[in-house]
Amino acid sequence: MRDFKTFLKDITTQPPVLFPTVVVFHLLCLLWAIWSCIQQTGASTEINVLWMLGYTIGWVGVADQKKWGAFAYIGVTVVNIVEYLTHRGKFGVDMYSSPLFLIDILFCFFILFYFKRFR
């Protein structure tokens, strides 16, 4: 098991520059979702926090070049797309999917491109 300093060094020096940058992006989006949930309560803001937590954990695994991180991130994206397509017309508004899922689909292509490097 690695200590936190070695973990940070590994995720910032081993993968391509895109991966640690996206970790920072996901952490900022997670903090924004938490702040939004505190400011205005409701099911949609709490679900957005859960989506962003899933994406952030998955991408930290991707930045560490672990296959479980790639599978987790792609899995959360697939579940998000299914939720978007099945609940969009029923409720009139899209409250169950992450607002960033189109960007996350783009990130999935980067994961698939670099997948052979993962452990």
Q: Which residues contact 98 (CB under 8 A, 6 or more apart)?
A: 48, 51, 52, 55, 80, 104
In terms of pTM, does the model score above 0.75? yes
**Helix (H/G/I), strand (E/B), else coil: 95:** coil
The whole-number pLDDT of residue 44 equals: 67
The whole-number pLDDT of residue 92 equals: 52
The whole-number pLDDT of residue 81 equals: 83
Q: Which residues contact 101 (CB under 8 A, 6 or more apart)?
A: 77, 80, 81, 84
**Predicted confidence pLDDT, tens digits, the chain (119 residues):** 678 888 778 777 777 888 899 999 999 989 998 898 888 876 667 788 888 899 999 999 988 888 998 999 999 999 888 887 777 655 555 556 666 778 888 888 988 888 887 77
The whole-number pLDDT of residue 86 equals: 78
Q: Where are the alpha helices (DSSP H) in 1-119?
A: 4-13, 18-39, 43-63, 67-91, 101-113
Two tokens at 44?
A: 């949609």
CB 69 within 8 A of CB 61: yes
For tokens 């993968």, name the residue. Answer: 15
